[in-house]
């Protein structure tokens, strides 16, 4: 393969910690006890959706004349979109301001995971009610109030907190950019291992204290903060799979031919392995520990021979040459390629996007949400594992919740047409274990519980 340089890459890591206490009633006095009650969750979710709709309608109504002008004025269109991005970020900045896990900025900033996972077809996400969200195990999103800097990073950072009835989660995304000369494989891997383990982030905590932390310690601090916001000072024990999930996607790569196919045991193959496993010895990994790409590439639905979705039990690496270097994969969405409607039109927002092919931005976000949701469902199914292993009858609320979560996980595994379809959940559930029990076995045992 020809020598190349990487000028943009995106990496997301996801941590999840699970607990039964909101569902089994043992934490009824918790500040966010509503998460564990179906009726209370439905009521709160519906209120959150209504609040967001009201905010959107008010924001757009105040700018109705400018929206009319934006139909024929590209400059005004771009400015309105920038203002809308900032307005939404301000709206979601308070950690106590819960929102759905999808963005108001659709359809400009569209990611299809949730509408496909929920089987919405043509219905907008604004139509999702609390009952549907509970049944599908849709989390609420919060913005953890941590200020994070990394002067060495050459890119931006986005963090999202996820609140489930049975777990808290953290999604940490970095967007690495080197427009001047790009990174060689060696330089890129050095930078990625700085992010993962070798460098510290400058962190201002919610109480305004300061520390320099590795990524794992930063994630631990944020997850502990989320747990305290859910439970108060009485945080119960949690369970998790030890290492985080990760998704790495190549966005801009110069000096290669898209039709070139990556061979086994090449530097590129070793790079994929290192990014999927975070093996510090990626350059010298013994061949017996470096499976052929025929076994690790799960891009079964991709028709281009150069496409690779490299996987390990905890990692995914996306290398789709035909989608790299596209203009619609800017850090800010492409606002010049839209047709505008006036506020109050059929869409829940004021913009209607022209139909075009998928982008790496969408794919990366969708895959990150998919691995997070797959694991969240498996952890929900595991809530009854100890009782089942001891031949005990699980708590009724836990049993119902675990069984229904297991059914959702199985739908992902089988790639049913009613949910998000990907090869990833099958590999995820078959190749990961919790306390030495394969996740798919946990899912099937929970699914077999009697209603």
Beta strands in 312-396 (DSSP E): 315-319, 338-340, 351-353
pLDDT tens series, the chain, 451 aa: 558 899 999 999 999 999 999 999 999 899 999 999 999 999 999 999 999 888 888 998 999 999 899 888 999 988 988 888 788 878 877 656 899 998 765 555 556 899 999 999 888 888 999 999 999 999 999 999 999 999 999 889 999 999 999 999 999 999 999 988 899 999 999 999 999 999 999 999 999 999 999 999 999 999 999 999 999 999 999 999 989 999 999 999 988 877 788 999 999 999 999 999 999 999 988 888 899 999 999 997 776 778 999 999 999 999 999 899 875 554 333 332 233 343 433 333 333 344 445 689 989 999 999 999 999 999 999 999 999 999 999 999 999 999 999 999 999 999 999 999 999 999 999 999 999 999 999 999 999 998 7
pLDDT score of 325 = 83
Phi, psi values for residue 144, rounded to 5°? -60, 130
pLDDT score of 31 = 96
Instruction: Count other Cβ atoms within 10 Å, centred on residue 90.
Output: 10
Query: How many independent structural domains does the chain possess?
Result: 1
pLDDT score of 330 = 45
pTM: 0.91
Strand partners, 202: 149, 212
Instruction: Compute CA distances 366 → 42, 54, 124, 411, whole Å.
Output: 25, 27, 17, 17
Rounded to whole angstroms, the Cα distance separating 243 from 230 reads 23
Structure tokens at 81: 């979109």
Nearest CA among 148, 139, 145, 199 for reference residue 173: 148
Give me the torsion for CA of 126, 174, 433, 271, rounded to 10°: 130
Nearest CA among 120, 122, 119, 133 for reference residue 42: 133
Q: What 3-state DSSP class applies to 433? A: strand
Q: What distance lies between CA 278 and its chain's CA centroid?
A: 19
CB–CB of 103/88 below 8 Å? yes
Rounded to whole angstroms, the Cα distance separating 171 from 143 reads 10
pLDDT score of 316 = 98
Q: Which domain holds residue 418?
A: 5-447
CB–CB of 138/125 below 8 Å? no
pLDDT score of 111 = 63
Rounded to whole angstroms, the Cα distance separating 145 from 42 reads 26
pLDDT score of 242 = 87
pLDDT score of 337 = 29
Structure tokens at 250: 């190549």
CB–CB of 309/247 below 8 Å? no
In total, the chain counts a number of residues equal to 451
């Amino acid at each position: 393969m020809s020598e190349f340089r990487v000028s943009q890459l995106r990496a997301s890591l996801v941590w999840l910690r699970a607990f039964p206490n909101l569902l089994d009633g043992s934490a009824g006095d918790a500040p966010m006890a509503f998460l564990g009650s179906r009726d209370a969750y439905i009521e709160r979710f519906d209120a959150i959706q209504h609040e967001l709709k009201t905010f959107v309608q008010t924001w757009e109504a105040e700018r109705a004349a400018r929206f009319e002008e934006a139909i024929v004025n590209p400059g005004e269109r771009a400015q309105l979109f920038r203002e809308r991005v900032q307005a939404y970020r301000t709206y979601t900045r308070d950690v106590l301001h819960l929102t759905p896990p999808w963005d108001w900025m659709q359809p400009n900033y569209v990611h299809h995971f949730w509408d496909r996972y929920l089987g919405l077809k043509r219905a907008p996400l604004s139509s999702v009610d609390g009952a549907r969200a509970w049944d599908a195990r849709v989390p609420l999103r919060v913005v953890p109030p941590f200020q994070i800097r990394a002067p060495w990073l050459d890119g931006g950072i986005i963090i999202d907190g996820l609140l489930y009835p049975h777990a808290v989660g953290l999604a940490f995304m970095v967007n690495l950019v080197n427009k001047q000369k790009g990174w060689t494989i060696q330089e890129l891997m050095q930078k990625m291992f700085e992010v993962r383990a070798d460098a510290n982030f400058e962190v201002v905590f919610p109480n305004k204290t300061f520390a320099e932390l590795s990524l794992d310690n930063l994630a631990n601090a944020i997850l502990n903060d989320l747990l305290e916001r859910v439970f108060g000072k009485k945080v119960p024990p949690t369970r998790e799979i030890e290492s985080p999930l990760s998704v790495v996607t190549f966005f801009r790569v110069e000096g290669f031919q898209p039709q070139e196919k990556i061979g086994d045991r090449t530097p590129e193959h070793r790079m994929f392995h290192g990014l999927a496993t975070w093996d510090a010895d990626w350059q010298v990994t013994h061949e017996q520990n470096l499976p052929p790409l025929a076994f690790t590439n799960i891009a079964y639905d991709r028709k281009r021979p150069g496409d690779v979705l490299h996987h390990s039990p905890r990692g995914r690496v996306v290398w789709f040459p035909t989608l790299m270097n596209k203009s619609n994969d800017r850090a800010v969405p492409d606002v010049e390629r839209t047709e505008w409607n006036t506020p109050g039109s059929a869409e829940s927002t004021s913009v209607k996007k022209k139909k075009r092919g998928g982008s790496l931005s969408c794919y990366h976000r969708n895959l990150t949400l998919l691995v997070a949701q797959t694991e969240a469902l498996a952890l929900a199914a595991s809530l009854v594992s100890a009782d089942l292993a001891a031949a005990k009858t699980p708590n009724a609320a836990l049993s119902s919740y675990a069984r229904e979560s297991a059914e959702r996980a199985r739908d992902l595994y089988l790639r049913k047409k009613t949910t998000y379809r990907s090869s990833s959940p099958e590999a995820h559930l078959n190749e990961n274990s919790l306390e030495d029990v394969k996740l798919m076995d946990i899912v099937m045992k929970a699914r077999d519980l009697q209603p």
